[in-house]
Amino acid sequence: MSAPDVPGSKETPAPELKPLSLSAIHHRLFRAYGPQHWWPADSPFEVMVGAILTQNTNWRNVEAAIASLQAAGMLDGSRIASCDEARLGELIRTSGFFNQKAVSLKAFCRFYLDHGGAAGLKRLDDPRRALLALNGIGPETADSMLLYALGMPVFVIDAYTKRIFARLGLTRPEASYHQLQEFFEEHLPMDAGLFNEYHALIVEHAKQHCRVKPLCAECPLLDRCPTGQTSA
């Protein structure tokens, strides 16, 4: 038996609430929030550092950590790779989980240098698998690096994506990372530029409206959202 097309077809929305297609949702979000110009970083390396630092952490805290690395002249692969862990932890302290992240970041930088930087990573047979083999890099971090640093067409799933599309009735709240990723990649053209913008718009939408406590009033998707219809 093949998996259902939509990993959330258990509770179908009310018939008069025809779900929007993923493309239609993208279009609406783009109209609402405009171009996002992601990832906010100056180089592929900085994107990858940010991807590690932002794990379960507010981006604002990450910006401060990156600024601190920058100010110390440490925003550099070989300097991080050879930096004392305690010192590195202090530099990235504001990003939270700084002891773990210091270890992960050092390991990643060694890996990055060993493989010849971003261009070298992109030439690997299976860069995703290589990244996932590193301690401290899971699917979201790896995919963020692939998409936003290496420009590869990989759809990034995060907590916001789960929340928004479950509320829209398109996916199940308990769907796995892999299931959600498959859903997006099967229903959209495999276009890195599109994936880039779409994920960035998802983040913006989650921050502005689809929060844990949703602000449905001005939501650009409200008329097609079963959750918003019932909770408003």
Partner DNA sequence: GGCCAGGTGTAAA
Partner DNA sequence: TTTACACATGGC
In the shown chain, the binding pattern of residues 148 to 167 toward DNA, with x for contact by CB under 7 A and - for none, equals x---------xxx-------
Q: Nearer Cβ to DNA, position 136 or 226?
A: 136
61 lies in the binding site for DNA (CB under 7 A)? yes
| Interaction pattern, residues 178-207, with DNA; x per rule: CB under 7 A | -------------------------x--xx
Whether residue 38 is preceded by a cis peptide bond, meaning omega within 30 degrees of 0, is no
Assigned token pair, 33? 């929030």
Out of 60, 126, 218, 230, which residue is the one contacting DNA (CB under 7 A)?
A: 60
CA angle centred on 65, ends 63 and 66, rounded to 5°:
65
Task: Determine whether 88 is exposed, middle or buried from the number of CB atoms within 10 Å of its CB (0-12, 13-18, 19+).
Answer: buried
Of 3-11, 47-55, 115-123, 216-224, the window that binds DNA (rule: CB under 7 A) is 47-55
Regarding 56 and contact with DNA (CB under 7 A), the answer is: yes
- Tell me which H or E stretch contains 183: helix 177-187
Residue 162's closest CA among 149, 181, 136? 181
Interface residues with DNA (CB under 7 A) are 38-40, 50-51, 54-61, 64, 93-94, 96-101, 134-142, 144, 148, 158-160, 174, 203, 206-207, 211-213
